[in-house]
């Protein structure tokens, strides 16, 4: 069943539903989707824990942790937009999604993916100022500055994906409605169009440039500057201490960008089976959000100390409440 709509004397044919094909002929694929549900549960717990810790601990009310909070928020909502809906579809073997819900899902999945990339760039900005200009750090990287940076990034992200969605609505789908992906993926959908989809192709290159190439290039430049700054530090202990503040961020950058870049480069030089691309995309979009809070908890001294303080505070509060409960029972 399709619908026909006319705008500005142009007629667009839209399917009532899209069929999300997912993995093709993979035995025991259901176990894979069950694994994704486990990943999602860990992601929710971990990122909620990080957000709650930052909110409750006054020592973490800093510019840097505004960005960390935003990363946890993007990870949590990004996984929530992706895993529950589509895992349920595949486990129930009901892989049809309405045209409107598909576009809405595409908007939110890509919005939070973009914000994950942009937030890693914001954290790189924080690190380069902290190490290259330590005496001016608190004057440059203020809570107001970081909030403004994050706000502009949200605006850019919403604009990019908003334009992409609008261009999708200008396409006609008069052939297949089967999407060769595990979610409402922008590329596989606009390639199904039977009218001119050149603007969507252009938006794909804009997306790759703005969301991947520019942030990754700027992050690389920031670490070149950090490297030169570390060479100027005479004391080895101070150099190691400065390097440790960057390790968490470098791990997050590697986890996010390496799989994405590898799949794009591989697609340019050789043929990739759809299942290979799908599995790589799934792991790229779901594993980093699960691991990010674990890495920040284990590798960041500030967060660990704040967790210990909050734990002691909770123990004290519980100890104070126990005598009251005992009296009440009597």
Inside any domain, residue 205? yes
Query: 36 pLDDT exceeds 60?
Result: yes
Query: 9 pLDDT exceeds 60?
Result: no
Task: Return the pLDDT at 2.
Answer: 58
pTM beyond 0.75: the answer is yes
Mean pLDDT, range 89-111, rounded to an integer: 92
> Do 153 and 214 touch, CB atoms closer than 8 A?
no
Task: Return the pLDDT at 80.
Answer: 94
> Do 290 and 39 touch, CB atoms closer than 8 A?
yes
Mean pLDDT, range 154-158, rounded to an integer: 96
CATH of the domain at 268: 1.20.1070.10
Inside any domain, residue 327? no
Task: Return the pLDDT at 326.
Answer: 45
For the chain, how many residues are written? Answer: 330
User: Using CA atoms, how far apart are residues 302 and 307, in angstroms rounded to an integer?
Assistant: 9
Query: 161 pLDDT exceeds 80?
Result: yes
Lowest mean pLDDT segment, chosen from 3-12, 48-57, 231-240, 305-314: 3-12
Lowest mean pLDDT segment, chosen from 45-49, 199-203, 216-220, 313-317: 313-317
Query: 6 pLDDT exceeds 60?
Result: no
14: left (phi over 0), alpha (psi -120 to 50) or beta: beta
Inside any domain, residue 12? no
Q: In this prediction, what percent of the chain has a pLDDT beyond 70?
A: 92
Inside any domain, residue 229? yes
Task: Return the pLDDT at 268.
Answer: 66
Mean pLDDT, range 120-138, rounded to an integer: 92
Query: 72 pLDDT exceeds 80?
Result: yes
The pLDDT tens digits for 227-247 are 888 888 767 677 777 777 788
Task: Return the pLDDT at 259.
Answer: 83
Inside any domain, residue 11? no
Task: Return the pLDDT at 103.
Answer: 95
Segments forming the whole domain that contains residue 167? 19-318
**Which of 285, 295, 284 is CA-nearest to residue 262?**
284
Task: Tell me the two tokens of residue 105.
Answer: 């899902």
> Do 113 and 78 touch, CB atoms closer than 8 A?
yes
Cα–Cα distances in angstroms (integers) from residue 108 to residues 35, 153, 164, 257, 302, in the given order: 22, 15, 12, 20, 31
Residues 6+ apart with CB under 8 A from 32: 23, 26
Across the chain, mean pLDDT equals 86
Inside any domain, residue 209? yes
Task: Return the pLDDT at 7.
Answer: 52
Inside any domain, residue 2? no
Inside any domain, residue 4? no
> Do 19 and 179 touch, CB atoms closer than 8 A?
yes
The string of DSSP letters for 313-330 reads HHHHHHHHHHHHHHHHH-
Measured in degrees and rounded to the nearest 5, phi and psi for residue 97 equal -135, 140
Count: domains in the chain: 1
Query: 177 pLDDT exceeds 70?
Result: yes
């Amino acid at each position: 069943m399709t619908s026909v709509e006319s705008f500005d004397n142009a007629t667009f044919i839209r399917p009532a539903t899209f069929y999300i094909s997912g993995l093709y002929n993979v035995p025991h694929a259901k176990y894979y989707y069950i694994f994704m549900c486990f990943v999602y549960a860990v992601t929710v717990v971990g990122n909620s824990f990080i957000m709650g810790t930052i909110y409750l601990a006054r020592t973490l009310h800093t510019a840097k942790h505004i960005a960390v909070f935003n990363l946890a928020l993007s990870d949590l909502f990004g996984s929530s937009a992706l895993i529950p809906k589509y895992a349920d579809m595949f486990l129930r073997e009901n892989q049809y999604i309405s045209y409107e819900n598909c576009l809405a899902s595409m908007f939110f999945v890509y919005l939070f993916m973009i914000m994950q990339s942009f937030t890693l760039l914001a954290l790189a900005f924080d690190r380069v100022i902290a190490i290259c200009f330590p005496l001016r750090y608190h004057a440059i990287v203020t809570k107001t500055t970081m909030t403004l940076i994050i706000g502009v990034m949200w605006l850019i992200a919403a604009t990019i994906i908003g334009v992409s969605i609008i261009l999708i609505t200008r396409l006609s789908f008069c052939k297949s409605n089967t999407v060769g992906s595990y979610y409402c993926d922008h590329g596989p959908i606009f390639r199904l169009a039977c009218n001119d989809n050149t603007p969507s192709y252009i938006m794909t290159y804009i997306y790759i440039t703005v969301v991947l190439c520019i942030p990754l290039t700027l992050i690389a430049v920031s670490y070149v500057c950090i490297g030169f700054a570390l060479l100027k530090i005479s004391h080895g202990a101070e150099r190691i201490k400065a390097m440790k503040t960057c390790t968490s961020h470098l791990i997050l950058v590697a986890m996010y960008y390496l799989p994405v870049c590898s799949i794009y480069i591989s697609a340019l030089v050789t043929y990739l089976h759809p299942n290979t691309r799908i599995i790589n995309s799934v792991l790229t979009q779901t594993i980093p959000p699960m691991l990010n809070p674990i890495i920040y908890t284990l590798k960041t001294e500030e967060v660990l100390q704040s967790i210990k303080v909050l734990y002691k505070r909770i123990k004290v509060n519980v100890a104070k409440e126990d005598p009251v409960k005992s009296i009440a029972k009597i």
